[in-house]
Structure 1
Amino acid sequence: MKPRTLRTPSTLRTLRTGLVWLVYAFLYVPILVVIVYSFNDARYTTEWKGFTLKWYSALAANGPLVDAALNSLSVATLAATIATVLGTLAAICIRRYRFPGRKVLHGCIYVLTVSPDIVMGISLLIFFIAMGVQLGFWTLLAAHVTLALPFVTVTVLARLAEFDEQLIEAARDLGASEWRAFRHVLLPLAAPAVAAGWLLSFTLSMDDVLVSFFVTGPTFEVLPLRVYSMVRLGVKPDINALSAVMFTVTIVLVLLAQTLTRTRRK
């Protein structure tokens, strides 16, 4: 009978580390390949012909693509801000107050987080047509707020689950009004979740295709739909450059959010 081999803690640690690096490689290696080929002098990504920055110049000179990017940035910023405000207030109401329909509202929020985008897009399209609203910037903004709102609410609710209500009671006992207790006690403690909700909403708005396809209309073009229409005939080098720029901006936003979170904790 062969003796059973015992796995040492160092072996398990090595296996876990290797598994983590495999997951990171699966997620980020394709992105790094796109970034590398954004500096490729070849027009097609089948071979490497040297380093160049001309595709970034071509990206800056592509007027329709830049306009679509600016449209997406404006919609994403407004949608993320509105969804963060409404979602934070909704989370506070659900967590701290008791009112008729509270459990139904709580359940509906979780249902929206798992609802398919195509169902939401078609539903919003039917609603806007029934209301006689012309499709364009405002319908797209309303749709993206609706899309991001439940994610903000769930994120802030998870943070408030660890909140000690006695802190609010202590502030009220010391003479603070409901608004001052919210402003100086509750909101600073929930700030990391609020910031995370804003970033999540911004990301959802920037890369949404399905909902935007149904509600944007012919007069207002956003970046995801523009890129989708371009890559159907093949990925061009300026698209690689655009992907590199967007990835860099995302990394900067994440690092900024982490820095702000550490500063608040200190």
Structure 2
Amino acid sequence: MIKPNRMLSASVLTIGFLFLYIPIISLVVYSFNESKLVTVWSGFSLKWYGVLMHDDELLTAAWLSLKIALMTASASVVLGTWAGFVLARMGRFRGFTFFTAMINAPLVIPEVIQGISLLLLFVTMQQMFGWPAGRGLLTIWIGHVMLCVSFVAIIVQSRVKELDRSLEEAALDLGATPLKVFLAITLPLIVQALVSGWLLSFTVSIDDVILSAFLSGPGWTTLPLVVFSRVRMGLNPEMNAIATMFITVVTIGVVAANRVMLARERRLTRDVQMAERNADPARPHVGRSASAQRGGEAGRRSTI
């Protein structure tokens, strides 16, 4: 008999998943709709994907958003890893409070304020130094990196705090340099956090509207801005088609990254267990039953 609490939990979980995924599923289904009306099904068709392939404005905006998202995610992981490592390992140095506030500020300051401040900064810099020459790829990228670094730093900080420092200290005692320890030991242990931060930064960047609206100029319109301007004129099945393509690409990427991380974690666990057995031959193998372990211990005591 199923307990009432378990039934309630399952019901709430099911309702939550339906609330989240039914709109996405309906969007994918209606991308194959033959009718121009996105809410009226008239038959299966791939014509909107064909129309999409000839829409230069939408394809150009999609490529620009994808390029900015890739650049943003990569830069955010590098800067965020450094910031998270400092927050987790360097202790309370002079200016620690100010540094922490600057890292966390983009998480609490509204994007409208960030967009206005960056716009004023770039305009002032252009008037004083002649750089940047207009607003485009570079300015959008800087704004997105500023926003995404905070997410990566928080993720890396929490992961670094959970690490067993004895592994790093043992490597230092054996003569490894701090850089070698970070690259050979610390980095592989936090790689899951880096992948998570990269994926989160990629998603935030490719989905951003507010910062992109402030920091983009003529000829540098991202995909969310194009979609937003077109949707205001009415829904179009072409939007469903490009959304379906992005959902497919992102899903494949997330599943592939998850499988790689799980395989790496299993391999790392197996290597650690093998190293422990080689270091201590008397240690019982993982997977042996409790009775077998007790029998082995009793045998060793009787031999002694």
Is the pair's TM-score, using the shorter chain for normalization, greater than 0.5? yes
CA RMSD of aligned residues (A): 1.2
> What residue number does 2:114 align with?
120
Residue 232 (structure 1) shift = 0.7
Residue 219 (structure 1) shift = 2.6
Counterparts of 2:11 and 2:170, CA distance in 1: 48
1:72 aligns with 2:44: no
1:83 aligns with 2:76: yes
Residue 112 (structure 1) shift = 1.8
Of 88, 95, 100, 1:101 maps to 95
Q: What letter corresponds to residue 178 of structure 2 in structure 1?
A: E
- How many pairs are equivalent? 259
Counterparts of 1:100 and 1:106, CA distance in 2: 11
8 Å Cα contact 2:106-2:146 kept in structure 1: no
**1:166-186 deviations in Å (ceiling 9; x for gaps):** 221111011111111001111
Residue 9 (structure 1) shift = 6.2
Residue 10 (structure 1) shift = 2.2
Residue 195 (structure 1) shift = 0.4
1:249 alignment partner, SS class: helix
1:35 aligns with 2:35: no
Counterparts of 2:199 and 2:183, CA distance in 1: 21
1:190 aligns with 2:190: yes
TM-score of the pair, normalised by structure 1: 0.94
1:220 alignment partner, SS class: coil
**1:43-91 deviations in Å (ceiling 9; x for gaps):** 1123111000111111111111101100111111011100110100111
> What residue number does 2:45 align with?
52
> What residue number does 2:137 align with?
137
**1:18-40 deviations in Å (ceiling 9; x for gaps):** 11010011111011111111011
1:17 aligns with 2:10: yes
**1:200-259 deviations in Å (ceiling 9; x for gaps):** 000011010000000011131111111111111011111010111111112112112211
**Which structure has the higher relative contact order (CA within 8 Å, separation 6+)?**
1
Counterparts of 2:106 and 2:79, CA distance in 1: 15
Counterparts of 2:97 and 2:186, CA distance in 1: 22
TM-score of the pair, normalised by structure 2: 0.83
**1:227-242 to 2 correspondence within 5 Å?**
227-242=227-242
Share of identical aligned residues, percent? 39
Residue 110 (structure 1) shift = 2.2
Please, which moves more after superposition, 28-37 or 96-105? 96-105
Counterparts of 1:215 and 1:40, CA distance in 2: 36
Counterparts of 1:170 and 1:115, CA distance in 2: 42
- Greater Rg by CA: 2
Counterparts of 2:168 and 2:109, CA distance in 1: 35
**1:182-221 to 2 correspondence within 5 Å?**
182-221=182-221
Q: What letter corresponds to residue 101 of structure 1 in structure 2?
A: G
Q: What letter corresponds to residue 112 of structure 2 in structure 1?
A: I
**1:239-254 to 2 correspondence within 5 Å?**
239-254=239-254
Q: What letter corresponds to residue 202 of structure 1 in structure 2?
A: F
2:244 alignment partner, SS class: helix
Counterparts of 2:2 and 2:212, CA distance in 1: 50
Counterparts of 2:39 and 2:251, CA distance in 1: 28
Counterparts of 1:257 and 1:242, CA distance in 2: 23
> What residue number does 2:284 align with?
none
Counterparts of 2:67 and 2:141, CA distance in 1: 9
Counterparts of 2:97 and 2:164, CA distance in 1: 21
Residue 163 (structure 1) shift = 1.1
Q: What letter corresponds to residue 50 of structure 2 in structure 1?
A: S
Counterparts of 1:107 and 1:259, CA distance in 2: 35
5+ long unaligned stretches in structure 1: 1-7
Counterparts of 1:104 and 1:167, CA distance in 2: 31
Q: What letter corresponds to residue 177 of structure 2 in structure 1?
A: S
Q: What letter corresponds to residue 56 of structure 2 in structure 1?
A: G
